[in-house]
Structure 1
């Protein structure tokens, strides 16, 4: 973020520092020292408690310049995913805790560790919801990992409309990856799963039941694109309300589709007849 960010109040700054420099799970003293050096902020009190040390350093530079950029710069470096290669769970926990705190200031930490703008939360309940209520509900349903791969940023902001849109686009992208095809929508589905020579098959297609399942799965995919993805692509968010329950149900359907795609086989120049 190159723009000038208004100063954070002392409560917001303290809360962020407590997450980043928690006594047991936070950054080490050495890490704090290095990161402060990287953003060219003086380490004014290196011998005190870690979170207070970080708070004092960031508060001083914020008061001096009357802007909150230093905290954002520090978080961007502290949350670099490369630093969490051996402990991705720590990245997720720290990000979620920061998102609760930052929600009150109109920011959140994306999956790539960078801070981005979000609508300000006014209550702790809204902040916690934005930090992952829908994501938690999906995890409780044990949804396929591919669902979250395409909509994590949107989920953090409780943006149901775009979460569903991105997840449904992800289905098309995965079909293209599995099949080698380049088309989209119903045309992609028909070339990949329908006709006398489908590119992708759910099974041997040697029985009428197997052929029926193949046709049904093809129709299910066309239904997803026709009833969900295509309208979302062309309608403003304000004209297409998306409730939490609708989002959960649609994303669960997308999960089922990905589980089916896990088992498909690509057919190489073999005449596989569905009719």
Structure 2
């Protein structure tokens, strides 16, 4: 690997904050293990995980006068085969790291390697994109639950992060309305399918063939969205797709439609019991 110019200390701090986050970051045991496996000395000057990581990485980079071993450490930690049982953590953490890496013109790919990407210099670039996106979506009268994801920090790297997070909000709304705990296509089947049982949620009273077709069509739409932008399997995740502003607008508009439909769903049990 060619010599990689050292990270700014602010970027190292952001990386350490992500990996050492109290609730969702690496455990203290994992930090010790990964630092040792990467031959990075752990001075253990601080008790908090994020400060401990920062001390170790900053000291290593200062001694090396380059960032090569910092990137090797990130590759080691984010090796996909290490997170087969916790893919959600991998995707979420990867997205967060890529925001910090974008300031260096780098992206951590789905395979755990690095590639050159669009280089940003300031958050103002992302802020401008976020404002433009939000204004256009407001003109389209987009659902308020979607507007939450038009944030500068999600657009530093590319528009995919806004789409990815907005898609996650669909599953979260379904879980809130049903108290189910699954995800993706399984969640859709559990919430809306009525093969031999009353579904949790219904778009209508399910009394006609047309009503049943609408219910099935909505299920297929949800599965298509999850399969394309929310795929948590190890085989074909689409996290690396490049999405431009026009793509983002169209996809977020579709997610807005889904949110409006979900807001109008009713408990199917009440339909069958004659309450609706």
Q: 1:94 to 1:245 in 2, by over 3 A?
A: closer
The equivalent of 2:69 in structure 1 is 70
Aligned to 1:202: none
The residue number in structure 1 matching 2:154 is 128
Q: Deviations over 1:98-146 (max 9, x none)?
A: 1222222212221123332211123154552226124445666743455
| Aligned CA-pair RMSD | 2.9
Aligned length: 167
Structure-1-length-normalised TM-score: 0.52
Is it true that 1:34 corresponds to 2:37 in the alignment?
Answer: no
1:20-70 per-position Cα deviation (integer Å, ceiling 9, x unaligned):
111221111121111112221111126621111111111111111210112
For the 8 Å contact 1:75–1:115, the answer to whether it is kept is no
Q: Quick one: structure 1 residues 92 and 150, their matched pair in 2 at CA, closer, same or farther if it must change by over 3 Å?
A: closer
Question: Over residues 209-267 of structure 1, what are the superposed CA-to-partner deviations in whole Å (9 max), with x where a residue is unaligned?
Answer: xxxxxxxxxxxxxxxxxxxxxxxxxxxxxxxxx83368749x99xxxxxxxxxxxxxxx
**1:4 aligns to what SS in structure 2?**
coil
Q: Please tell me whether residue 79 in structure 1 is matched to residue 78 in structure 2.
A: yes
Q: Give the match for residue 243 of structure 1.
A: 246
Shift of 1:82: 2.1
Superposed counterparts of 1:5-154, under 5 Å: 5-45=4-44, 48-121=47-120, 122-123=122-123, 124-125=126-127, 127-129=153-155, 130=158, 132-136=161-165, 142=222, 143-148=224-229, 149=236, 151-154=238-241
Q: Is the 8 A contact 2:45 2:55 kept in 1?
A: no
Structure 1 residues 21, 10: CA separation in 2 closer, same or farther (over 3 Å shift)? same
Q: Secondary structure at the match of 1:7?
A: coil
How far, CA to CA, are the matches of 2:95 and 2:6 in structure 1?
A: 22
Contact conserved, 2:167 with 2:225, CA < 8 A, in 1? no
Runs of 5+ unmatched residues, structure 1 = 161-241, 253-275
Which structure is larger by alpha-carbon Rg, 1 or 2?
A: 1
TM-score by length of 2: 0.52
Q: Distance in 2 between matches of 1:147 and 1:120?
A: 26
Q: Is the 8 A contact 1:79 1:114 kept in 2?
A: no
The unaligned stretches of length 5 or more in structure 2 are 128-151, 171-220, 230-235, 256-276
Check whether the contact 2:41–2:56 (CA below 8 A) recurs between aligned residues. Answer: yes
What per-residue deviation string (whole Å, max 9, x for no partner) do you get for residues 169-202 of structure 1? xxxxxxxxxxxxxxxxxxxxxxxxxxxxxxxxxx
1:151/1:89 CA distance change after superposition, 3 Å: closer
* DSSP 3-state at the match of 2:107: strand
